[in-house]
């Protein structure tokens, strides 16, 4: 019996070492996984948000924060672009929250050209609805990165002409599409679903 107890006592340290090793490995894996997740979020790598919101962030920034894609190096509009390019290098942005903010603050965004008669026609129709918040107008021809913006819109919305009207991040088409929605009384429902206030129109 003494020999048996002696053997048992000798085995206890080995068991404790094994348990401690298992606990450390388990803890390390979870901590590393959590840290890696936090680092990925911090770096802004591949946020699960449509890339269009990166572009909308870019074009809705005020004059106090000027930034164009012309400032970026080696931008290929035919391929997905890292969100940090749109944000001017800011990698700590929570893009899910930012997408929601953009939808709330700028539910209607019109990509337009100042000299385009179709753009003017669409802007006049939207103005007649007295929409609040007011549609945010992006005059692409006045931007230094206008060609890049057009190429990005073509890739992301499937539409390469102007105007290109976005409602909460989704294109509803151009001038003819807008008037068709207006004449069928569907535009009012779209504006309502977008969370805007507007003047009711008689068609």
Q: Quick: pLDDT tens for 47-83.
A: 589 999 999 999 998 755 667 887 666 789 999 999 9
Taking alpha carbons only, the member of 64, 112, 113 closest to residue 88 is 64
- 170: which DSSP letter? E
Work out the average pLDDT over 107-136. Answer: 98
Q: Quick: pLDDT tens for 130-173.
A: 999 999 999 999 999 999 999 999 999 999 999 999 999 999 99
144 φψ region: left (φ > 0), alpha (ψ -120 to 50), beta (else): alpha
Taking alpha carbons only, the member of 178, 185, 151, 157 closest to residue 169 is 157
Work out the average pLDDT over 81-101. Answer: 93
Q: What percent of the chain has pLDDT over 70?
A: 72
Whole-prediction pTM:
0.75
Q: How many CA atoms lie within 13 A of 80 on its CB side?
A: 10
> Which CATH number is associated with domain 51-198?
3.40.30.10
Contacts of 14 by beta carbon, 8 Å cutoff, 6+ apart: none
Work out the average pLDDT over 117-140. Answer: 97
At 203 the pLDDT is 60
Q: What percent of the chain has pLDDT over 90?
A: 64
Q: Which two tokens stand for residue 115?
A: 């000299």
Give the Cα separation of 192 and 156 in Å (integer).
24
């Amino acid at each position: 019996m003494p020999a048996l107890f002696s053997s048992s006592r000798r085995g206890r340290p080995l068991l404790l070492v094994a348990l401690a090793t298992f606990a450390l490995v388990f803890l390390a894996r979870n901590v590393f996984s959590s840290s890696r997740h936090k680092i990925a979020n911090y770096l802004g790598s591949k946020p699960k948000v449509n890339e269009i919101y990166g572009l909308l962030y870019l074009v809705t920034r005020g004059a106090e924060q000027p930034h164009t894609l012309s400032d970026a190096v080696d931008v290929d509009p035919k391929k997905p672009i890292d969100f940090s390019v749109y944000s001017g290098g800011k990698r700590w942005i929570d893009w899910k929250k930012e997408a929601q903010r953009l939808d709330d603050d700028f539910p209607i965004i019109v990509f337009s050209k100042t000299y385009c008669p179709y753009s003017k026609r669409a802007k006049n129709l939207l103005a007649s609805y007295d929409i609040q918040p007011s549609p945010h107008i992006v005059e692409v021809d006045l931007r230094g990165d206008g060609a890049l913006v057009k190429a990005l819109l073509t890739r992301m919305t499937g539409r390469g002409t102007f105007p290109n009207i976005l409602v909460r991040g989704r294109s509803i088409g151009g001038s003819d599409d807008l008037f068709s929605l207006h004449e069928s009384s569907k535009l009012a429902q779209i504006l309502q679903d977008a969370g805007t206030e507007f003047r009711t129109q008689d068609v």
